[in-house]
Structure 1
Amino acid sequence: MSKKILIVGAGYAGIEAALHLNKKGKKDDLSISLIDKNHYHTLLTELHEVAGNRQDAEAIRIPLKKIFRDTRVNLIQDEIKTFDFDNKTLVGERDSYTYDYCIVAIGSSPAFYGIPGLKEHALTLWSFDDAVKVRDHIEASFIKASSETDPVERARLLTFVVGGAGFTGVEMIGELAHWVKSLCRDYDIDRGEVRLVLLDLLDRVLPALHEKSSKKAHQYMTKKLGIEVMLKTNITEMKEDRVLTSQGEIETRTVIWCAGVCCNDQCEELEVERTGRGKRIQVNEFAQTDKEGVYAVGDCSALADESGVPYAAMVENAIQAAEGASDNILKEIRGQELEPVKVTFHGTMVCIGNYFAVSDIMGKRLPSWLSLVMKFVVNAHYLFEIMGFRGPAHYLKEEVVNRKQEKRFLARHYSPTTQSWWLLPLRMFMGFYWLYEGVQKVFQGWFNGPKLAEFMGMSRGYEVAQDAVSAATSGGLRIDDIFNLKLHIVNFQLAYASQMQEGVAISKDMFAKFDIFQFGSFNLVPAIIENWALSSQGWEVFFQIAVTLGEIVVGLMLLSGTFAFIASVISLALMAMFATSTGVYFHTWWLAFASIATMGGSGRAFGMDQYLLPWLDRVWTHVWKNGKLKLFFSKKNKQS
């Protein structure tokens, strides 16, 4: 009989639990359902980027159907109102649901700690709707301030306070500091009128990080971004137009509260044991609650380490806990012994705007640029896990190309995009060229006997041989240097090659040649070719057949638009090989630059990549999520 597993909450923990059960339980008779009030999954770690207008709002929410396409997971959009654990029934607004096992992954909510007026007047940054609301409120404040004649009210509108100097608060104030530059320009407001305040009760920002990382972040915010950092300061009360703190009052219309979390408000409806200041759900080492068949993971769970300290409400912890709880459910179904859920926290990265970050990863403090890279890598890896190749591709496009905030010099130049069909003529012409060169070699007998040595000019001791993509000719060759740069590690030669016949030049062509690691008579690439490819006639024929087939295959791939990126990379590699061995003549230089241009999605314009790449992504995603191969899919589930 099929075992019903209900997962409540489509956050990081809920998503991981559903995917893990679907894959690891492929041989078990399971009915897996994921229930959430929304139809999408929100990238909560990127909320500040929407609130600070770095990204479009849609960039951080992913439709659940895209994540669970081609899986056994049943998606239910409903909000659970009653948790009847004794009868193993959940009651939602639309229907009721029975289960054999339930995973509670309902996340967390902001903790206001009973501060008067804070819940009523402060903005929070805890959901997709929160991020959009913060963004719209900030821009509306600038719009109002631009026409406000009362200097006191104008100052209130242009004062922005972020409460809490943890991860969320620091990232929020950092994004806002960058966005303010554009807002001031758009609404003709002097930057000096804008006041940005970050306050916290503790004595340093980012207290979870190493003290040196905390200090770097503090200095960057104050010196580079013009942020006032008020530490050892607590909010005592908030009113509509001001916030009262232990160091005095700040007149403002905007407070973004990012300090403290507690179990989701829904926890109040749960008849389970709760613990600690945040009222998280008490669980044992197996992530089980005190109710039969009920597990709790993620921010709402008080899963603790070996010393009894609950794990922090972090994404990595939530994902690992969800995986462990899912494994225990499968073990329970199979009658196996449960294992304690182990969580290994590797570290975290905190971005303060677009261009600065600090991190503590496995005890190492990385430099800012590497911290930024790691942030991208971690996010891309997560999106790959839940969506396949399209996830990180879309993420990087939004972060690098479609970023909405003001861009620096390089970003303004590499972010513009063009339509792929503009590259169609170039791709077709380059494909025809390579195909012609390969077919020409076939008719010249490259499949029948040794030709490569003559083509490379190595059997006759030429200093420079024939063009990379033209046939060798007989006669003497005279080299007249135009420019020579000898660095030994890389040498560059630009010269004329004149074909001589009876002392008279019958042709003259310009060529370029690179020598890599040339010391004395030793030249790396020719040495490899002579000692490997030309070591025997058999090897020589093998490599010349490989070159010929390579040119033909690259030509066909480009003409058909099949894996155009790979074909372009191979084309560039062939040109690099020729440039470091025989030299490349003037009339073929264009191939190197064309190869770079056609890497940019040229195969999607009237090419097979338009159909092949989405299909392969779907095949791979199905294998990744289900652990088995599937090549054909119904059209009704086709993703646009």
Structure 2
Amino acid sequence: MPKKNIVVIGAGYAGLSATRKLAKRFKKDPDINITLIDRHSYHTMMTELHEVAGGRVEPEAVQYDLRRLLNRKKNVDLVTDNVTNVDHDKKIVTTENGSYAYDYLVLGMGGEPNDFGTPGVKENGFTLWSMEDAVRLRHHIENTVQKAALVRDPQKRKAMLTFAVCGSGFTGIEMVGELLEWKDRLAKDNKIDADEISLIVVEAAPTILNMLDRKDAAKAEKYMVKKGIKILKDSPIVEVKENSITLKSGESIATHTLIWTAGVQANSDTAEFGMEAARAGRLVANEYMEAKGLENVYVIGDLVYFEEEEGKPTPQIVEAAEQTGHTAAANIIAEITGKEKHAYKGAYHGFMVSIGARYGVASVMGLHMSGFFAMLTKHMVNLYYFFGIRSGYYACQYILHEFFHIKDKRNIFRGHLSRYGNVLWSLPLRLYVGWFWFSEAMDKIFGNDVWSQVKLFDWSPLFKGLGQESWLTATTSKLPFEWLMSATTGASEATESATEFATPIFSHMPGWFEWIMKIMMPNEDVALVMQKIVPFVELAIGLALVVGLFTWLSSVGSAGFLVMFVFSAMLGWDKFWALPASIALMNGAGRAFGLDYYFIPWFQRKMGKWWYGTPRSIYKP
């Protein structure tokens, strides 16, 4: 088969989805080369840009390096560049710094804000459709509040502290929700009253959140009004000035910040590509996502205009973007392999909107939720996205940014999971638990009688202690498990073995746990092997905790052993304290005066470079 070049333009939800599917299918085919071109070296989680603009998370929390996302996809060339032209006759994509021949082309360049020609929006408004937009808006808000705090003119001060959002779709409502929760911090840092900061949503339609069920939208509106957000409906904006906005009614609202989220249109760069466009500049495609009138050119994501029903094009949402990307990739695969093509069938599971970090409304697969459960569902959906693109690394990063590395209680758990505490105070506990396991192991290895004779720095009794009865020299199981006792041994020895342990928390093993243990240790020979391994594992846990190396894993092992001993009816209340102590040490206790402080960052760098390569600001083929 002759070599085929597939070029994908745009690394958004749709482009990334198509690229991954193509790379997976052709990973063993050296004749298929895939090139992914994007103006950035990272993929942006567009649905979370409001968190950056609203000061909840830093930019790196919602931007994901493409090399990490496409780890070990050796058949994908990443290119960081701006596309300037597409020649359909010669089948060449031209960028600012190169050109790329293609046999199949996938256009996933997404959309951009649509100002509907409203005067002053471009010059005086702020949009929220890229990382640059989010960072610019965030800095503007911080600077404006800082300056307003020093202004004595009450009218000017009020205008500077009034923030207006045009549009009541998901982006607009989520943005005003972030401002609602951010304003207390802004006020505190600048020594003003939070009540001075006013938030306004301006909507041209008579209702808000029109993609939601009306009851869900009503809940969201009630929450916002209760929190002091002013909502103006039936109020189209006809002009945006530097320090005010004018409504169709003639009313003027003094504000230095107008955030425009009122509409989306196709990426304007595609206007030069010579392709048929429909409403809002979106490129027309058929049910296979093939561009109208062109061969082997596919359109996906927010850029595509395909009517699933008459007058209803594919919605500009993440699920549609991913599904159109999958459809285009599947049909390129079908074309190359000579299989039948697949028509697009949208399957959308619902909608969710957050109003800050602690409240939201959702309708998912027929279930209507609000508050905590709606926000929890949104987080679960986001995590599902990471698992869908096979990025455990960024799934973990998402959890850290959303639940642990958070300030001002801005998550659904009201900050209870925030990890900004000092782990220094865990040091004594870490050393104590480590010594606990070290001592337990030495008792079993050398025998309790010998180990108890050891004085500080006098280890000589250990070296003559192995003649004593220990777990290593025992010829029969010292575990008080009746099924391991032979008929000749009798139940008396089982009782005798049990006396080595303190009065247990459980008088006997639960039936389900006994079933598991019988599988793990079906006879005394296996039990003896396990009995000789266990003390060395305990010793390793103890030493690791003392020196602070792999502390999290050691703490998990410690807790796991203790749970096993509890259900085995071998652990008494005198040692139960070690279980909650082990859980407490999972807070990164090795980072304070432990080897984890040095080793873990080094290990992460080395493993990251081996698995992902080196992340770069510019990728070249």
Q: Which residue of 1 aligns with 2:228?
A: 226
Instruction: Give the structure-2-normalised TM-score.
Output: 0.82
Distance 1:184 1:562, change over 3 A: closer
Select 1:432's aligned residue among 438, 454, 478: 438
Q: Quote how far apart the aligned CAs of 1:332 are.
A: 0.9
2:188 is the alignment partner of 1:185: yes
2:258 is the alignment partner of 1:280: no
Distance 1:298 1:74, change over 3 A: same
Q: Which residue of 2 aligns with 1:520?
A: none
Q: Quote how far apart the aligned CAs of 1:228 are.
A: 0.4
Q: Which residue of 2 aligns with 1:486?
A: none
Q: Quote how far apart the aligned CAs of 1:134 are.
A: 0.8
2:145 is the alignment partner of 1:153: no
Q: Which residue of 1 aligns with 2:65?
A: 63
Q: Which residue of 2 aligns with 1:449?
A: 476
Distance 1:407 1:209, change over 3 A: closer
Q: Which residue of 1 aligns with 2:14?
A: 13
Q: What is the rounded CA distance, in whole Å, between the counterparts of 1:19 and 1:529 in structure 2?
A: 43
User: Once the two structures are superposed, what CA deviation does each residue of 1:161-220 show, in whole Å capped at 9, x if it has no partner?
Assistant: 101111000000000011111111221222232211012122332111111111111111
Q: What is the rounded CA distance, in whole Å, between the counterparts of 2:600 and 2:541 in structure 1?
A: 10
SS in 2 for 1:339: coil
1:93-132 correspondence runs (5 A): 93-132=96-135
Q: Quote how far apart the aligned CAs of 1:613 are.
A: 7.5
Distance 1:215 1:33, change over 3 A: same
2:373 is the alignment partner of 1:378: no
Residue identity opposite 1:9 in structure 2: G
Instruction: Give the structure-1-normalised TM-score.
Output: 0.80
Q: Quote how far apart the aligned CAs of 1:574 are.
A: 3.2
Select 1:578's aligned residue among 551, 557, 565: 565
Residue identity opposite 2:556 in structure 1: V
Select 2:420's aligned residue among 416, 423, 428: 416
Q: Quote how far apart the aligned CAs of 1:30 are.
A: 1.2
Q: Which residue of 1 aligns with 2:306?
A: 303
Distance 1:538 1:167, change over 3 A: closer
Q: Quote how far apart the aligned CAs of 1:135 are.
A: 0.7
Distance 1:164 1:284, change over 3 A: same
Q: Quote how far apart the aligned CAs of 1:319 are.
A: 1.1
SS in 2 for 1:525: coil
SS in 2 for 1:147: coil
Q: Which residue of 1 aligns with 2:537?
A: 553
Q: What is the rounded CA distance, in whole Å, between the counterparts of 1:391 and 1:529 in structure 2?
A: 36
1:534-613 correspondence runs (5 A): 539=523, 542=526, 546=530, 549-553=533-537, 555-556=539-540, 559=543, 565=552, 567-580=554-567, 582=569, 584-585=571-572, 588-601=575-588, 606=595
Q: What is the rounded CA distance, in whole Å, between the counterparts of 1:578 and 1:143 in structure 2?
A: 58
Given that 1:384 and 1:392 are in contact with CA atoms closer than 8 Å, whether structure 2 keeps it comes out as yes
Q: Quote how far apart the aligned CAs of 1:617 are.
A: 8.1
Runs of 5+ unmatched residues, structure 1: 478-496, 498-510, 516-522, 619-632
SS in 1 for 2:149: helix
Q: Which residue of 2 aligns with 1:171?
A: 174
Q: What is the rounded CA distance, in whole Å, between the counterparts of 1:453 and 1:431 in structure 2?
A: 20
Q: Quote how far apart the aligned CAs of 1:120 are.
A: 2.0
Q: What is the rounded CA distance, in whole Å, between the counterparts of 2:531 and 2:312 in structure 1?
A: 62
Which piece of structure 1 moves more, 427-436 or 589-598? 427-436
Q: Quote how far apart the aligned CAs of 1:438 are.
A: 5.3
Residue identity opposite 1:324 in structure 2: T
Q: What is the rounded CA distance, in whole Å, between the counterparts of 1:177 and 1:234 in structure 2?
A: 23
Q: Which residue of 1 aligns with 2:466?
A: none
User: Once the two structures are superposed, what CA deviation does each residue of 1:460-495 show, in whole Å capped at 9, x if it has no partner?
Assistant: 799xx99xxxx7548xx9xxxxxxxxxxxxxxxxxx
Q: What is the rounded CA distance, in whole Å, between the counterparts of 1:270 and 1:598 in structure 2?
A: 58
Q: Quote how far apart the aligned CAs of 1:155 are.
A: 1.2
Residue identity opposite 1:180 in structure 2: K
Q: Quote how far apart the aligned CAs of 1:66 are.
A: 2.4
Distance 1:250 1:577, change over 3 A: same
The number of aligned residues is 577
Residue identity opposite 2:13 in structure 1: Y
Q: Quote how far apart the aligned CAs of 1:380 are.
A: 2.2
Q: Quote how far apart the aligned CAs of 1:455 are.
A: 9.4
Select 2:35's aligned residue among 25, 33, 36: 33
SS in 1 for 2:220: helix
Q: Quote how far apart the aligned CAs of 1:615 are.
A: 7.9
SS in 2 for 1:38: coil
Residue identity opposite 1:415 in structure 2: R
1:217-616 correspondence runs (5 A): 217-223=220-226, 225-247=227-249, 248-276=251-279, 278-289=280-291, 290-305=293-308, 309-386=312-389, 388-406=391-409, 411=415, 414-418=418-422, 422=427, 425=431, 429=435, 432-433=438-439, 435-436=441-442, 439=445, 443-444=470-471, 448-453=475-480, 472-473=498-499, 513=505, 525-527=509-511, 539=523, 542=526, 546=530, 549-553=533-537, 555-556=539-540, 559=543, 565=552, 567-580=554-567, 582=569, 584-585=571-572, 588-601=575-588, 606=595
Q: Which residue of 1 aligns with 2:457?
A: none
Residue identity opposite 1:443 in structure 2: S
Q: What is the rounded CA distance, in whole Å, between the counterparts of 1:98 and 1:291 in structure 2?
A: 16
Identity percentage over the alignment?
33
Q: Quote how far apart the aligned CAs of 1:356 are.
A: 0.6
SS in 1 for 2:119: coil
Q: Quote how far apart the aligned CAs of 1:567 are.
A: 5.0
Q: Quote how far apart the aligned CAs of 1:554 are.
A: 5.1
Q: What is the rounded CA distance, in whole Å, between the counterparts of 2:550 and 2:309 in structure 1?
A: 50
SS in 1 for 2:72: coil
2:197 is the alignment partner of 1:205: no
Distance 1:119 1:534, change over 3 A: closer
Q: Which residue of 1 aligns with 2:84?
A: 81
Given that 1:109 and 1:261 are in contact with CA atoms closer than 8 Å, whether structure 2 keeps it comes out as yes
Q: What is the rounded CA distance, in whole Å, between the counterparts of 2:276 and 2:473 in structure 1?
A: 79
Q: Which residue of 2 aligns with 1:628?
A: none
Structure with the larger strand share: 1
Q: What is the rounded CA distance, in whole Å, between the counterparts of 1:216 and 1:551 in structure 2?
A: 58
Q: What is the rounded CA distance, in whole Å, between the counterparts of 2:89 and 2:542 in structure 1?
A: 63
Q: What is the rounded CA distance, in whole Å, between the counterparts of 1:273 and 1:550 in structure 2?
A: 71
Distance 1:149 1:611, change over 3 A: closer
SS in 2 for 1:32: strand
User: Once the two structures are superposed, what CA deviation does each residue of 1:346-403 show, in whole Å capped at 9, x if it has no partner?
Assistant: 1232111111111111121124222211222222232344463211111111112222
Residue identity opposite 1:41 in structure 2: H
Q: Which residue of 2 aligns with 1:502?
A: none
Residue identity opposite 1:103 in structure 2: V
Residue identity opposite 2:56 in structure 1: R
User: Once the two structures are superposed, what CA deviation does each residue of 1:606-632 show, in whole Å capped at 9, x if it has no partner?
Assistant: 4787777888889xxxxxxxxxxxxxx
Distance 1:273 1:410, change over 3 A: closer
Distance 1:449 1:370, change over 3 A: same
